[in-house]
């Protein structure tokens, strides 16, 4: 009897406690499902403080909008839909007008060109529905010729303020520019803004160049050239355009270079006597250290962001797979186990992922996996996708896609690590082997 | 072989011999009954059998002589047999024919059926079931007095003191300090004598009026009956006084006005009302989810769970200024800020037109705590 009473009391308590909790406290809900769609953002033309800044004000706003929408995370509301016009940077924003067109973020700014010809840009970011400013307004000053960089920097600030992660718009990409038919293709090193603007050629087409790699500071480029008949590694200063070949042994082939995070060491592959192994070289002294001694082919090394580990490609298991080992050498740990061939691994700037090229069932893929080999995701698939490189924020990957056939051409593409927002990067002609540089100062 | 063994062997042999031949193993036959028998011949045996089975034949039997015919013949009393006449049941007489029912008197039908429904006078006050009488609150019994003068206190009981004391009188002219004290409250009195029979009834209502029925929908006007054309002056219809809207209607109107102006009404303390049903909660959850856009959040923000509190207006719109982040987990402060801003946008955007919430339960949803957990939305 007593036991039954206790059971009844317990049941009553179980029933009554939640009811009492709701009676006394706030209503509690858990939201676990949302939507994934681009955020509507309005970027009206910036206000020109002087007539000379009229065109700049409009162009800067257009570049900012293009940067934001190019990420796939934002959707610009066209100017024709705007109700309010921003005529003064200092005037209060009529949030109701922007709310009415469902703009969730609003970027306003003003451009001035001072007497010295410098461009001064002020901007603010607004949360429309909250009716308040996101952060504080900022001001950027630069040369008139560098107005695009100013626009990219504004876009970086907007991106970082809304998404919570760093931007990548004020960055450059070095790549191999290709021209001519497939069997006589001319290759030159080129550098451009991340969005394909401001292309500059670093080398001529007299020799084949491949696999350029930016230094961590973005002022130097390593690349492999066949100008001597054998592949050899060169170091190019982007500013002065001066270059020098890194020391190597006669009768050997050196290729696939990559900077260490501190920019002092170069990892590369050296082929000698039919065997290819990994080496590291101190750039100043030119001294090399052998890291692997296996009879198999080890190549395409890449440092982790902290410089303590190396991910590379090896066929020691019979097929090309990905391995990780300490930066000083030692035992390697295989991390790729899927069906197919893996190659060209690149460690993410965040350190959490490794991007790679995968060949499986006659198709090529760009994919990512965790550094322990788990959670492999293939982001692309085509006749030939290869050579991934990470954006500075670790959110976007750029790679080479080559089309099939005699008229096939290599182009650069970018994709979000979610696999969405696949876009072609505009380049003058064919392009391959991209290497994404850091954010510029 | 010693003597003992010889003696033992001889003894054993003797014992065995006695057992075999002395009748130690012979048992007496069981007793049996002895019967004397006698030998007889076959003829004797057959004679014995015949004597025991066949009865002895009777030689002669004495039988009486039959009477001679005609001698003392009994006279027959009865004649020749005749067939008995069977009595047939009498046929029932044919029943009299049923009387032809006389047709009922035709009921005179109403001359015409009026198209208009009969006017049913609504009950003036439709009373519901009588509320059970509850024990009324005790109320002070009216004092049966009319005059408000206080009554002088009764004399205390006189008692003979055990100790005789001399009389002590205060000195003439001496100042006696008297402690101030309140005057005696007059006994409760009423303005008139009220008896129990005249006691007023319990003021509490014993019945609750039913809610008023909706006014009947406008009925189509009955077909105009042909009437002699007469010129009648159309009298102006008296203006019916407009009913004053009840308080709830006034509140609804003011709420609607506030909603139209984008303002909320202050939130006075009200009864909480019954808890929200699961369906009502789900409706609110779905409404917020519809506007919770995590597409522009960083990977770290997508790994951050934030708890956001919001106070609601009675118009079921969120008070934007009251939205706060209570706590966060799983990410840095920067990531939590991004996640919170996305959650805030969701609340504001989808609450812009008001959530679908039952107004009678306002007390239940006035304060809402939402946990935005993007785990399912995260990129694995």
User: At residue A304, does pLDDT exceed 90?
Assistant: yes
Instruction: Count CB-CB contacts under 10 A for residue B302.
Output: 23
- Kind plus residue range of the DSSP H or E element containing A189: strand A186-193
Domain boundary among A147, A163, A179: A163
Average confidence score pLDDT of chain A: 91
Comparing alpha-carbon positions, the chain B residue that sits nearest to A418 is B379
Q: List the single residue in A with minimal CA-CA distance to B271.
A: A23
Q: Which residues between 38 and 67 in chain B have a beta carbon less than 8 angstroms from any beta carbon of chain A? A: none
Q: Are residues A360 and A401 in the same domain?
A: yes
Distances (CA, A) of B140 to A44, B137, B149: 78, 10, 19
Q: Between residues B366 and B225, which one has the greater pLDDT? A: B366
- Residue A164: pLDDT band (50, 70, 90) is confident
The mean per-residue pLDDT over the stretch A38-44 comes to 95
**Residue A119: pLDDT band by 50, 70, 90 thresholds?**
very high
Which chain B residues contact residue A415 at CB under 8 A?
none
Report yes or no on B112 lying in a domain.
Answer: no
Q: Indicate if the pLDDT at residue A65 is higher than 80.
A: yes
Q: Which two tokens stand for residue A112?
A: 């001035």
Residue A194 and residue A134 in one domain: no
The structure's pTM equals 0.64
Alpha-carbon gap, residue A387 to A411, rounded angstroms? 12
- Write down the pLDDT at residue B73: 46
- Chain B hits for A30, CB-CB cut-off 8 Å, are 285, 370-371, 373
Q: Domain of A45? A: 39-163
Residue A234 to chain B, least CA–CA distance (Å): 37
Q: Does B355 touch chain A (CB under 8 A)?
A: no
Tell whether A274 and A142 lie within a shared domain: no
Find residues 296-335 of chain B whose CB sits inside 8 Å of chain A: 296-301, 309, 320, 334-335
Q: Does the pLDDT at position B378 exceed 80?
A: no
Mean pLDDT, residues B25-45 taken together: 63
Q: Model confidence over A177-200: pLDDT tens digits? A: 998 887 788 899 999 999 999 999
Q: Does residue B283 lie within any of the structural domains? A: yes
- d(Cα A358, Cα A338) in Å, to the nearest integer? 9
Tell whether the model's pLDDT for residue B303 goes beyond 60.
Answer: yes
**CATH assignment at residue B310:** 3.30.1150.10
How sure is the predictor about A9, in pLDDT bands with cuts at 50, 70 and 90? low
- Please give the pLDDT value at position A378: 96
Kindly report, residue by residue over A200-221, the tens digit of the pLDDT: 999 998 889 999 999 999 999 9
At residue A225 the predicted structure's pLDDT band, cuts being 50, 70 and 90, is very high
Same domain, A199 and A260: yes
Distances (CA, A) of A11 to A1, A15, A20, B151, B274: 15, 6, 14, 63, 21
Per-residue confidence (pLDDT) for residue B146, from 0 to 100: 54
The ipTM estimated for the assembled molecules is 0.77
* Number of folded domains that form chain B: 1
Q: What is the pLDDT of residue B275?
A: 86
Domain assignment of residue B320, given as a range: 278-377
Using 50, 70 and 90 to split pLDDT, how confident is the model at B58? very low
Upper half-sphere CA count for residue B111 (Cβ side, 13 Å): 0
Contact A129 B349 (CB under 8 A): yes
For residue A375, pLDDT over 50 is answered with yes
Give the tens place of pLDDT for each residue, B253-282.
445 544 444 444 444 555 567 888 999 999
- B120 vs A100, which has greater pLDDT? A100
Is residue B233 over pLDDT 70?
no
Confidence of residue B17 (pLDDT cuts 50, 70, 90): confident
Average pLDDT, chain B: 63
A155 with A207, same domain: the answer is: no
**Within-domain flag for A371:** yes
Same domain, A131 and A55: yes
Torsion sign across C-alpha atoms B284, B286, B290, B292: positive
Q: In the predicted model, what is the mean pLDDT of residues A89-105? A: 93
Using the beta-carbon criterion (under 8 Å), do B294 and A36 form an inter-chain contact? yes
Name every residue in A having a CB less than 8 A away from some CB of B: 19, 22-23, 25-39, 73-74, 99, 104, 127, 129-131, 134, 162-165, 375, 395, 417-418
pLDDT, tens only, B291-302: 999 888 888 888
- Residue B106 has a pLDDT of 45
Determine the pLDDT at residue B79: 44
């Amino acid at each position: 009897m007593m036991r039954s009473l206790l059971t009844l009391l317990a049941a009553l308590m179980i029933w009554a406690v939640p009811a009492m909790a709701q009676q006394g406290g706030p209503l509690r809900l858990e939201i676990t499902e949302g939507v994934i769609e681009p955020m509507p953002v309005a970027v009206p033309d910036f206000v020109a403080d002087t007539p000379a800044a009229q065109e700049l004000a409009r162009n800067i706003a257009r570049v900012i909008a293009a940067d934001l929408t190019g990420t796939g995370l934002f959707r610009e509301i066209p100017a024709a839909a705007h109700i309010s016009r921003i005529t003064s940077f200092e005037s209060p924003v009529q949030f109701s007008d922007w709310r009415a067109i469902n703009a969730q973020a609003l970027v306003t700014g003003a451009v001035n060109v001072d007497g010295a010809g410098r461009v001064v840009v002020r901007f603010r970011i607004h949360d429309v529905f909250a009716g308040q400013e996101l952060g504080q307004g900022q001001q950027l000053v630069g040369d008139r010729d560098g107005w695009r960089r100013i626009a990219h920097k504004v876009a970086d600030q907007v991106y970082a303020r809304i998404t919570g992660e760093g931007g990548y718009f004020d960055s450059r990409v070095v790549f191999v520019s290709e021209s001519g038919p497939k069997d006589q293709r001319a290759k030159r090193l080129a550098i451009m803004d991340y969005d394909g603007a401001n292309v500059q050629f670093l080398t001529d087409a007299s020799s084949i160049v491949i696999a350029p790699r930016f230094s961590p500071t973005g002022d130097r480029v390593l690349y492999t050239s066949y100008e001597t008949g054998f592949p050899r590694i060169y170091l190019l200063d982007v500013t002065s355009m001066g270059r020098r070949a890194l020391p190597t042994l006669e009768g050997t082939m050196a290729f696939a270079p990559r900077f260490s995070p501190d920019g002092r060491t170069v990892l590369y592959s050296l082929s000698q006597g039919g065997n290819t192994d990994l080496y590291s070289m101190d750039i100043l002294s030119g001294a090399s250290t052998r890291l692997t001694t296996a009879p198999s082919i080890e190549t395409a090394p890449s440092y982790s962001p902290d410089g303590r580990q190396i991910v590379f490609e090896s066929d020691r298991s019979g097929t090309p797979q990905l391995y990780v080992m300490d930066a000083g050498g030692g035992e390697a740990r295989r991390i790729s186990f899927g069906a197919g061939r893996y190659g060209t691994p690149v460690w993410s700037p965040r350190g959490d992922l490794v991007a790679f090229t995968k060949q499986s069932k006659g198709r090529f893929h760009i994919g990512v996996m965790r550094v322990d080999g788990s959670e492999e995701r293939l982001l692309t698939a085509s006749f030939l996708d290869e050579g991934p490189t990470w954006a500075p924020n670790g959110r976007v990957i750029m790679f080479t896609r080559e089309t099939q056939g005699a008229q096939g051409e290599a182009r650069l593409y970018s994709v979000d690590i979610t696999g969405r927002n696949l876009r072609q990067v505009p380049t003058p002609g064919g392009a391959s082997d991209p290497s994404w540089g850091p954010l510029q100062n | 072989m010693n003597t003992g063994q010889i003696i033992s062997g001889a003894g054993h042999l003797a014992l065995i011999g006695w057992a075999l031949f002395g009748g130690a193993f012979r048992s007496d036959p069981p007793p049996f009954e002895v019967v004397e028998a006698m030998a007889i011949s076959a003829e004797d045996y057959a004679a014995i059998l015949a004597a025991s089975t066949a009865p002895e034949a009777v030689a002669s039997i004495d039988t009486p002589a039959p009477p001679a015919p005609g001698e003392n013949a009994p006279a027959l009393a009865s004649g020749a047999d005749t067939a008995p006449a069977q009595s047939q049941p009498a046929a029932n007489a044919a029943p009299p024919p049923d009387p032809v029912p006389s047709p009922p008197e035709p009921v005179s039908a109403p001359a015409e059926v009026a198209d208009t429904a009969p006017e049913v006078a609504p009950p003036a006050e439709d009373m519901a079931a009588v509320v059970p009488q509850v024990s009324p609150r005790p109320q002070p019994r009216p004092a049966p007095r009319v005059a408000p003068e206080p009554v002088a206190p009764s004399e205390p009981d006189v008692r003979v003191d055990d100790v005789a004391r001399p009389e002590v009188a205060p000195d003439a002219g001496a100042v006696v300090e008297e402690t101030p004290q309140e005057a005696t409250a007059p006994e409760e009195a009423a303005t008139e004598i009220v008896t129990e029979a005249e006691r007023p009834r319990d003021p509490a209502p014993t019945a609750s009026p039913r809610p008023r029925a909706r006014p009947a929908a406008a009925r189509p006007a009955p077909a105009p009956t042909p009437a002699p054309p007469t010129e009648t002056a159309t009298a102006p219809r008296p203006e019916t006084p407009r009913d004053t809207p009840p308080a709830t209607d006034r509140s609804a109107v003011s709420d609607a006005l506030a909603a139209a102006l984008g303002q909320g009404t202050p939130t006075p303390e009200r009864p909480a009302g019954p808890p929200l049903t699961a369906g009502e909660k789900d409706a609110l959850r779905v409404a917020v989810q519809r506007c919770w856009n995590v597409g522009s959040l960083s990977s770290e923000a997508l790994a951050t769970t934030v708890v956001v509190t919001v106070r609601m207006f009675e118009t079921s719109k969120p008070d934007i200024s009251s939205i706060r982040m209570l706590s966060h987990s799983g990410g840095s402060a920067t990531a939590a800020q991004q996640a919170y801003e996305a959650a805030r946008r969701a609340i504001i955007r989808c609450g812009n037109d008001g959530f679908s919430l039952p107004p009678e339960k306002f007390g239940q949803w006035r304060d809402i705590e939402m946990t935005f957990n993007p785990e399912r939305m995260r990129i694995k």
